[in-house]
């Protein structure tokens, strides 16, 4: 029986949201036959192992500095509220809440809020040591949705996804300065 040549082609790739990391797995295909179940099982095991190794990387231990109830992100230079209000607010109320704290506090932009999202974490997708008791919820940003008036962006702490919603919707708030 003559061995078949291995035709290596890209089979699966996934870019991790909010990250420069791209995971590419190349699987071999024998001739024109379908990939057999054994090869699929091996490939699934490899993908799972790579994902677990990547997920354990997490946030560098020195990224956040704690000073009481203020967390400073050494990568961005932004100072964040460590704990958040138990209340939910409309978009205008959220902006008023942050500015009402005084001391330069404001509602973060969607880009600033996304810097807290860690693609290696889920539920919540935020560093739990730096931000304990963060609820799994949508958090308002100060960024309006440009294409549609009456809408603004928020970031969900479950997976770090950003979406837009009506400014009259109620979301949580984490202020920044």
Domain ranges, ordered by start, for the chain: 6-55, 64-166
What pLDDT is attached to residue 61? Answer: 66
The string of pLDDT tens digits covering residues 34-47 is 444 434 444 444 43
The whole-angstrom separation of Cα 24 and Cα 21 is 10
Strand pairing report for 22-30 and 64-67: unpaired
Residue range 64-166 forms a domain whose CATH class is: alpha beta
pLDDT at 27 over 80: no
Whether the model clears a pTM of 0.85, i.e. scores above it, the answer is no
The string of pLDDT tens digits covering residues 33-82 is 444 443 444 444 443 433 333 333 455 668 999 999 999 999 999 999 99
pLDDT at 18 over 80: no
Which are the contacts of 69, defined by CB distance < 8 A and separation ≥ 6?
Answer: 81, 82, 83
What pLDDT is attached to residue 62? Answer: 83
């Amino acid at each position: 029986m003559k061995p078949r040549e291995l035709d290596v082609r890209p089979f699966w790739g996934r870019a991790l949201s909010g990250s420069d990391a791209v995971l590419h797995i190349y699987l071999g295909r024998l001739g024109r036959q379908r990939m057999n179940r054994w090869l699929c099982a091996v490939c699934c095991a490899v993908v799972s192992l790579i994902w677990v190794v990547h997920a354990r990387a997490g946030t560098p231990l020195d990224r956040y500095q704690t000073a009481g109830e203020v967390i400073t992100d050494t990568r961005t230079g932004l100072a964040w509220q460590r704990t958040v209000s138990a209340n939910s607010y409309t978009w205008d109320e959220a902006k008023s809440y942050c500015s009402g704290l005084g001391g330069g506090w404001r509602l973060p932009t969607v880009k600033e809020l996304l810097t807290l999202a860690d693609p290696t974490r889920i539920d919540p997708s935020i560093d739990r040591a730096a931000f304990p008791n963060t609820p799994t919820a949508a958090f308002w940003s100060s960024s309006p949705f440009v294409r549609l008036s009456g809408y603004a962006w928020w970031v969900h702490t479950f997976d770090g996804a950003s979406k837009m919603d009506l400014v009259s919707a109620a979301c949580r708030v984490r202020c920044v300065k």
